[in-house]
Structure 1
Amino acid sequence: MDLDNPKGFPEAKEVDNMTFEEFCVDRSGSQDAVHMADAISSGLLGVDSKEVSALYMLYYFKSGSGIDNLLSDEKDGAQYLRTRQGTQTIARKMADELDQSDIFLGMPVTSINQSPGNSPCVVQTLDGSSFSCQRVIVSIPTNLYQSISFCPPLPQAKHVLSNHTIMGYYSKMIFVFQEPWWRNARLTGIIDSAGGPITFTRDTSVPTDDQWSITCFMVGSRGRAWSELSKGDRFNQVWEQFCRCFGKFVKDIPKPNNTLEMEWSKEPFFLGAPCPVMTPGLLTTVGSDLAAPHGKVHFIGTETSTVWRGYMEGAIRAGQRGAAEVVTALQED
């Protein structure tokens, strides 16, 4: 598959019109394939296999150098690296190098107006502030385009992308412990489960900081159902499954010193994670419009990248592309 032209893939239209579930059953000849398909799509994208286009799933695999690499915790695998102090550290360090008077936080954009010719774009925010500029870069997920009023209106393809791409359900609950009891028992801290709210766990400790933790991930439809519970019930269900799994190997599991919870679907500027997902029929019809500019407005975000889509690598590549587009446009204006 050519990542720059996925609709040129043999049988692209047919495969794009199938769900990943249908594709796996069709190719394997067995309904048992659905369980594996769900595990893959929910683990990587937070959606069940019946929600995502088969062609988009294959595209996502190739974008990340193959399914084995996407699932790998080994060196160079998609799950290999973490940032010691959290990924927000990167943004904060970059912000430190900028003039603080040029950074505006907590000011959601409500409208982007552009006029013909060399007239500046006018960006308005929720608090009534207004900014004039020659070019605008939009980095929000496609499903949030509809939260901004564009003048002139977005092309039909962008509307379709905004209305029909979906965000997966992804959440995490981090148990922080006094000591790494699982390591003392020679366990990895990894759970992969097909039942209960937890789909998988990972050891997210930082030994140099004497920080010992296991992060539990709740994803897909199981995660969505769990999300509707009260905070106390969410904790109880996760902790019960956690103890049931590790209790087979460790007699006394200590209570965590602290518990941290994050649900991206309840964050108004995300509404899910890790990136917008294409439902059947989108990739071969409007997929090529993802990164297309709209006049003086440019679109970035990891979902627009052809390489490592859905990951930070993809986000950085998309940002570089968008910046290059703006620099070139300003030089030509």
Structure 2
Amino acid sequence: MSSTYDVVVVGAGLSGLQAALTLDAAGLRYIVLEARDRVGGKTFTLRSPETGAVQCDLGAAWINDSNQSRMWALANELGLETYVQNTAGNVVVQDFDGKLVKFPYGQAPEYPSAKDTRSCISIRDEVERLSLTQSPSILSAGPYRQHLDSMSFETYLRNAKVTEKAFATAQVWTHAMLGVDPSEMSALYFLEYCAAGGGLMTMRSDQKGGGQYLRIRQGMSAFAEGMAGKLRPGSVELSSPVASITQKPNGTVSVTTKGPLSQTYQARKVIVSVPTPVYKTITFSPPLPPSKTAVVNRTRYGFYTKYMVTFSKPFWTERKLCGLAQSFIGPVSVFRDTSLGDQSYCLTCFLGGQFGRKWAAQDAEGKKSSVLKQISDVLADGQDVTPWFIEVHESPWMEEEYSGWGCPCPVMPPGVLADGWGALCAPADNLHFVGTELSPVWRGYMEGAVTSGEKGATDVIAELSRDEVKAKL
């Protein structure tokens, strides 16, 4: 059986759904093919099977109401209720020797060595400056951009002669933001990632304007569910993984799904809105351009897991802690309080890079006990927290094929981004590519996804209009 459309959208994450909404507004015929049995991609709210109450967000979990204008508009449009991230109280740093350094949110930690304190502040400020400076901008083609892409972020840090404590601080950033060690991506990639989110300080902030300012009481899945609900009924096909995309000599594209209900769809254009590692699961005919494939084959996820632990009481707030903590020894690199004030108190633990890989080698009980021990040490003054433990949930992304076996955003090693960005984002004849990792703003975030999806659909609409004009001449 074959169906014909103006556009087939592959993937019903936020970028694909936004692309479909833009196509819908333009009056085009479209279909969205989603491999999973749900919409939302890497946004996924776990809800209680008994009550439907939100338990936790296994994927993306925050927006803000100032510089994430698309997500804020969607939240209002869909009538979603926001909850401000808690920053009242002290932040904690777990040092190399396990000792704790506590300080008010918004200030810098003061270490026993003034040299360490100065080095941490200096590298933070330098990364912020580079990610925001307009002249010379890291986003402008030229020798400066090439130079930053020629080295790993670790080499960049070593060249800056940071102390080991400052290096560990930067490693906390890369673990929590991308799940990689500083050695695993180019300096340019990390700096550009920060620039896309308004700078390192904005991306790391839990306060107004920051990357972790607002959560949604209904859960982040409410965004995708609400967006899908605005589309033409029947326009989203779930459990329809795409097996092949074939561009034909007559200018049409054939998209075939796999599985017991395999179906083929014909279209004038296709918008591919899956993460780049997922491209390898689709047979493209003809193959994607070598310039694009060369970059796609070098994008990779790090090790990144969110481990959400629920307790019967917020023992950290009783100790005048806000729940934000970071560690130089792991296994958890960053903790955040993700309670929703409903008598169920939650800490989200970010495990990434080498710390996460080592932690993941344990069995389920070992993983849980090591995290609870660290929570006890860091947020409970050493008191055993197991009496208050209720349950734990671990994000599934590294085991999920349709996310590309990872989260939150693929990174690039040295020597790829500076010359490869244009090819990565470029269309391939009648195929257009969207997704948060291809966004110039808030890359890796939901805001980046919807921005990219809208731009991709707008480009497709413009091309179809030009084609119709040509056909009339």
TM-score range, shorter chain: over 0.9
TM-score of the pair, normalised by structure 1: 0.92
Tell which deviates more after alignment, 150-159 or 248-257. Answer: 248-257
8 Å Cα contact 1:21/1:49 also seen in 2? yes
Letter in 1 for 2:422: S
Q: Which of 423, 435, 444 in structure 2 is aligned with 1:310?
A: 444
Whether 1:124 aligns to 2:256 is: yes
Tell which deviates more after alignment, 276-285 or 4-13. Answer: 4-13
Whether 1:96 aligns to 2:191 is: no
TM-score of the pair, normalised by structure 2: 0.66
In the superposition, relative to structure 1, how do residues 22 and 12 fare at CA in structure 2: closer, same or farther (>3 Å)?
A: same
State the distance in 2 between where 1:81 and 1:281 align.
36
State the distance in 2 between where 1:174 and 1:46 align.
16
Whether 1:161 aligns to 2:161 is: no
Whether 1:283 aligns to 2:402 is: no
Deviations 1:210-235 (A, max 9, x none): 43211111111211221222222211
Counterpart of 1:21 in structure 2 is: 154
Letter in 1 for 2:246: N
8 Å Cα contact 1:6/1:283 also seen in 2? no
State the distance in 1 between where 2:362 and 2:267 align.
45
8 Å Cα contact 1:25/1:31 also seen in 2? no
Counterpart of 1:41 in structure 2 is: 174
Letter in 2 for 1:97: K
**Which segments of 5 or more consecutive residues in structure 2 lack a partner in the other structure?**
1-132, 468-473
State the distance in 1 between where 2:142 and 2:278 align.
29
8 Å Cα contact 2:138/2:188 also seen in 1? no
Counterpart of 1:199 in structure 2 is: 333
State the distance in 1 between where 2:452 and 2:138 align.
17
> Per the alignment, in what secondary structure is the counterpart of residue 298 of structure 1?
strand
User: How far apart are 1:184 and its partner, in Å?
Assistant: 3.3
Counterpart of 1:242 in structure 2 is: 375
In the superposition, relative to structure 1, how do residues 330 and 241 fare at CA in structure 2: closer, same or farther (>3 Å)?
A: same
Counterpart of 2:210 in structure 1 is: 77
In the superposition, relative to structure 1, how do residues 269 and 252 fare at CA in structure 2: closer, same or farther (>3 Å)?
A: closer
User: How far apart are 1:282 and its partner, in Å?
Assistant: 0.6
Whether 1:137 aligns to 2:266 is: no
8 Å Cα contact 2:372/2:386 also seen in 1? no
8 Å Cα contact 1:169/1:264 also seen in 2? no
Letter in 1 for 2:450: I
Counterpart of 2:358 in structure 1 is: 225
State the distance in 2 between where 1:273 and 1:75 align.
25
8 Å Cα contact 2:139/2:145 also seen in 1? yes
Whether 1:185 aligns to 2:319 is: yes
8 Å Cα contact 1:247/1:253 also seen in 2? no
User: How far apart are 1:199 and its partner, in Å?
Assistant: 0.9
In the superposition, relative to structure 1, how do residues 180 and 32 fare at CA in structure 2: closer, same or farther (>3 Å)?
A: closer
Deviations 1:190-246 (A, max 9, x none): 221111311111111112x44321111111121122122222221121112112222
State the distance in 1 between where 2:274 and 2:217 align.
26
What's the Cα RMSD here? 2.2
In the superposition, relative to structure 1, how do residues 196 and 107 fare at CA in structure 2: closer, same or farther (>3 Å)?
A: same
Letter in 2 for 1:330: L
Counterpart of 2:407 in structure 1 is: 273
User: How far apart are 1:150 and its partner, in Å?
Assistant: 0.6
State the distance in 2 between where 1:177 and 1:247 align.
12
Deviations 1:35-76 (A, max 9, x none): 233222222111110010011111112111111111111101
8 Å Cα contact 1:174/1:213 also seen in 2? yes
Counterpart of 1:8 in structure 2 is: 141
State the distance in 2 between where 1:11 and 1:5 align.
7
State the distance in 1 between where 2:218 and 2:176 align.
24
State the distance in 1 between where 2:385 and 2:287 align.
60
User: How far apart are 1:32 and its partner, in Å?
Assistant: 5.5
8 Å Cα contact 1:20/1:50 also seen in 2? yes
8 Å Cα contact 1:114/1:122 also seen in 2? yes
Name which structure has the greater RCO, CA cutoff 8 Å, separation 6+: 2
Whether 1:115 aligns to 2:258 is: no
4+ residue stretches of structure 1 with deviation over 4 A?
Answer: 1-5, 29-33, 249-253
